């Protein structure tokens, strides 16, 4: 399996098998590959863009556009496994223009929880981590916010949050411990929430 | 900054060099040095408003430009803001006592569902630095909170901020409500936040989208001046 570091900065190239290409965020690679393998979805191939675009949403739309242009002749269909992800509707506009579909929802926290349920919950003071983000907490949270050098900034970033919610895709006691540690470092209460793959599974199942 | 600068004695610098050094110290987020510099300038007889605009706001504007140009990032801007806050805490009571010029009054807050207030806090601080009175409503504000505060504070400007693409559409709810109540044209509406852009600002009926705190200040000054001019013409 490709390392988290590679998924963060380089992404993942497609194998070249299957009729439908999924172009996804690198933060979803392990989960999508697990679903493909577990369900025998041999018609699906996966390409991932660098997961670090999570922190730079303005990079997502041009990268998706470029990937679709490069791969469109190699597959029957392309499906985008990015939610809006901070693009402010721009990714949806581009997908409409390119004639490709994308997964519904504002972000992965929502579709893992289930978009309808997430919207109903209306949590505004929760900070979310997924399996990938727990493993990559330093690369995606601690370092980019400068907290290793300037720990005094922590409460300026997180002072309005109340709890860290770890949305687990798989059961893994080690990750639970690490997520608790992340909550401690951020000065937040901790909540463990097993979501599984939520709407991601249902969406891919329909392709 | 280099070790050499650790040896600089601020009180031994002339005014010009001290202000230049304060720009550097603000850039580097050195709160104690900024506080010391402010105290020195006040002791030398500088008016508090002059210290604020020439030393602090001047320095923070450079920080804002370098943030816009991708030279500085959020952590550095926060450190600089924290240093400026240190200087402001000394100047604020003096500004009130000396009757510094008032540019106008702003009501500001993050919109309903949004608790991310870093940008909003920077704008509030820079607006205060530029001579505006600021009523900060904090985070997660419903339309009623904005409308009530605008009326109660007899404000000139409404500032709304959002970090999330899921919450930014609420700005339109606020503006539409102001239109319904027949009060939209009584206020300058400024919007900002990472996922916004000029197109969005126009689409929801704001007067301006402000890319950063320095732009917010310049825009507010320009629109207030225009409002006063049009008032004088009628």
Query: In order of start, what are the domains of chain B with their CATH numbers?
Result: 10-101 (1.10.1240.10), 102-234 (3.40.50.280)
Total length of chain B: 234
Of B156, B112, B165, the residue nearest A93 (C-alpha)? B165
For residue B135, which phi and psi values (nearest 5 degrees)? -105, 110
CA angle A104, A109, A114 (to 5 degrees): 55
Q: Is the pLDDT of residue B99 over 80?
A: no
Q: How far is it, in rounded angstroms, from Cα A180 to Cα B90?
A: 40
pLDDT in the model for residue B168: 94
B170-180 and B143-152 helices, crossing angle to 10°: 50
pLDDT of residue B231: 61
What percent of chain A has pLDDT above 90? 88
Taking residue B135's Cβ as centre, other Cβ atoms within 10 Å add up to 16
pLDDT bracket for residue A1 (50, 70, 90): confident
Residue B141 gets which letter from DSSP? Answer: B
**At which residue do the structure tokens 């904005």 appear?**
B146
Residue B105 clears pLDDT 90, i.e. is over it: yes
DSSP A73-114: GGSSEEEEE---TTSTTHHHHHHHHHT-EE--SSSHHHHHH-
CA-based nearest residue to A94, from A56, A47, A60 = A60
Contact, A109 vs A130, CB < 8 A? yes
pLDDT single digits (tens) B109-153 = 999 999 999 999 999 988 988 889 999 999 999 999 999 999 999
Which CATH number is A4-109+199-205 given? 3.40.50
Q: Among A36-40, A203-207, B69-73, name the one with the lowest average pLDDT.
A: B69-73
pLDDT band at B234 (very low <50, low <70, confident <90, very high): very low
A152 vs B contacts (CB less than 8 Å): 82
Return d(Cα B12, Cα B5) in angstroms, integer.
13
Report residue B61's pLDDT band, with 50, 70 and 90 as the boundaries.
confident
Q: What are phi and psi of B101, to 5 degrees?
A: -60, 140
Judge whether A121 and A143 are in contact, CB under 8 Å: no
- Chain B nearest CA to A146, separation (Å): 6
| Contact A88/B at CB under 8 A | yes
Angstrom distance (rounded) from CA A97 to CA A91: 10
- Helix (H) or strand (E) segment spanning residue B107: strand B104-110
**How much is the pLDDT for A175?**
98
* Spatial contact of A147 and A186, defined as CB atoms under 8 Å apart: no
pLDDT digits (tens, 9 = 90+) for A141-157: 999 999 999 999 999 99
Distance, CA of B217 to CA of B56 (rounded, Å) = 14
Mutate to test the interface with A, among B85, B117, B166 (most CBs of A within 10 A): B166
pTM here is 0.86
The predicted complex's ipTM stands at 0.81
Q: Where are the domains of chain A?
A: 4-109+199-205, 111-194
pLDDT at A182 over 60: yes
Distance CA B130, CA B190 (A): 16
N-to-C CA span, chain A: 24
A3-15 average pLDDT score = 89
Is B10 in CB contact (< 8 Å) with chain A?
no
CA distance B181 to A84: 33
Split at pLDDT 50, 70, 90, the class of B101 is confident
Q: Is the dihedral of CA A173, A175, A179, A184 positive or negative?
A: positive
Chain B CB contacts of A88 under 8 Å are: 165, 168, 195-197, 200
Q: Do A88 and B200 touch (CB under 8 A)?
A: yes
């Amino acid at each position: 399996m490709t390392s988290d570091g590679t998924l963060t900065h380089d992404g993942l190239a497609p194998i070249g098998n299957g009729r439908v290409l999924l172009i996804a965020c690198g933060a979803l690679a392990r989960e999508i590959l697990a679903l493909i393998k577990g369900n025998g979805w041999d018609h699906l191939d996966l390409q991932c863009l660098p997961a670090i675009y999570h922190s730079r949403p303005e990079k997502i739309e041009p990268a998706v556009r470029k990937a679709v242009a490069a791969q469109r002749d190699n597959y029957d269909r392309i499906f985008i496994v990015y939610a809006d992800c901070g693009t402010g509707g721009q990714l949806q506009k581009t997908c409409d223009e390119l004639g490709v579909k994308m997964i519904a929802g504002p972000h992965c926290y929502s579709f893992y929880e289930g978009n309808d349920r997430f919207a109903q919950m209306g949590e505004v003071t929760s900070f979310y981590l997924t399996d990938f983000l727990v493993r990559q907490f330093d690369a995606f949270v601690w370092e980019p916010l400068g907290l290793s050098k300037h720990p005094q900034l922590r409460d300026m970033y997180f002072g309005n949050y109340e709890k860290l919610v770890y949305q687990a895709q798989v059961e893994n006691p080690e990750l639970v411990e690490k997520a608790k540690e992340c909550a401690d470092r951020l000065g937040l209460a901790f909540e463990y929430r097993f979501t599984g793959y939520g709407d991601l599974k249902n969406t891919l199942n329909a392709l | 900054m280099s070790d050499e600068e650790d040896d600089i004695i601020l009180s031994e610098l002339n005014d010009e060099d001290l202000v230049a050094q304060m720009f550097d110290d603000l850039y580097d987020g050195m709160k104690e040095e900024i506080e010391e510099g402010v105290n020195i300038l006040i002791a030398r007889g500088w008016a508090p408003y002059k210290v604020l605009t020439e030393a602090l706001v001047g320095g923070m504007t450079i920080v804002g430009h370098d943030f816009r140009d991708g030279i500085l990032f959020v952590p550095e801007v926060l450190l600089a803001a924290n240093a400026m806050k240190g200087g402001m805490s000394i100047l604020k009571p003096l500004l009130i006592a000396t009757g510094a010029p008032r540019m106008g009054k702003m009501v500001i807050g993050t919109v309903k569902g949004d608790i991310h207030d870093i940008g909003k806090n920077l704008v509030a601080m820079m607006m205060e630095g530029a001579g505006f009175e600021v009523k900060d409503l904090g985070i997660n504000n419903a339309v009623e909170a904005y409308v009530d505060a605008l009326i109660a504070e007899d404000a000139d400007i409404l500032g709304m901020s959002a970090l999330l693409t899921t919450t930014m559409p609420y700005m339109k709810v606020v503006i539409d409500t102001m239109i319904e109540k027949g009060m939209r044209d009584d206020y300058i509406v400024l919007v900002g936040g990472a996922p916004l852009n000029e197109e969005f600002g126009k689409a929801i009926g704001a007067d301006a989208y402000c890319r950063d705190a320095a732009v917010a200040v310049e825009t507010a000054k320009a629109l207030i001046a225009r409002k006063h001019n049009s008032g004088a013409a009628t």
